[in-house]
Amino acid sequence: MPELPEVEAIREKIAPEITGRRITGVHVARAAVIRPQRASTIAKLAAGRKIEAVNRRGKNILVGLSGGYVIRVHLRMTGELKVAREGGNARVWFDLTGGRKLVFEDTRALGRVNVLTEAEVRKALAKLGPEPLSADFALERFTEEAARSRRPAKLFLMDQTHVAGLGNIYAAEALFRARLDPRKPMSETPRAKVAALHSTIVEVLREAMKSARIAYNRPGKFQEGEEFIPAVYGREGERCPVCGRKIRRIEQGGRSTYFCPRCQR
């Protein structure tokens, strides 16, 4: 599932290609991805408008249009947003001036594409927590929220009201680097470990961001040390790179959690 680093890399890639272009047509091949809106509504709101900016909030890509409208795209598990000459197997695509198309593909049709007013977007995203790679991600606030939460550490991190854009993969990696058991209630976690977790979230996301930029702009051309390789995520039964103990997988909140039972206590 695309998380903050991948979503930001996509935003950076498409922004210079579509900013300043005008939408000349809208096509919806799978109605499920635009619910609760209708195809006719999407077309009416977007057609003829100029793309003025491409931003990101959490895992949302926000394509700002003239007249105060926004195309909000959430990729979910398998979504992809790109600029192409043809619609291909797209679920939704927007014809642009200059013969290009803004194309949303999604094999499982779990993602969402909607056209909203700026006010509607602000309301929809109002509960998102701070961006972890910004100055808003303050240790004091993170520590206070952790002290009030009885939720297990992994589920606390997956709650987008605490950290916007952090998902399953990088939450597991941050917990591993902080040596924190994903099952431990945050309110019972020592302040020193909460501070370590805050630091490792930023560290992991910065590394993943660098890797994602390379992956989306020059696929397969990683130099040594550039590709982000998870230490625990997806490695059930493999040896921990620190202590050699076998990595475990458990289920939390309907998602897999990977951790080292010796290092993470």
Catalytic residue among 49, 56, 59, 101: 59
Known catalytic residue at 255? yes
Q: Tokens 């290009």 correspond to what residue?
A: 100
Known catalytic residue at 3? yes
Q: What is the dihedral of CA 29, 35, 40, 44, to 10 degrees?
A: -110
SS3 168: helix
Known catalytic residue at 105? no
Instruction: Phi first, then psi: give them for residue 98, nearest 5 degrees.
Output: 90, 5
Q: What is the dihedral of CA 119, 121, 126, 127, to 10 degrees?
A: 160
Asked if residues 170 and 208 have their Cβ atoms less than 8 Å apart, the reply is: yes
Q: Tokens 């917990």 correspond to what residue?
A: 175
Catalytic residue among 210, 213, 255, 262: 255
Known catalytic residue at 59? yes
Q: What is the DSSP letter of 225?
A: T
- Provide the annotated active-site residues: 2-3, 59, 255
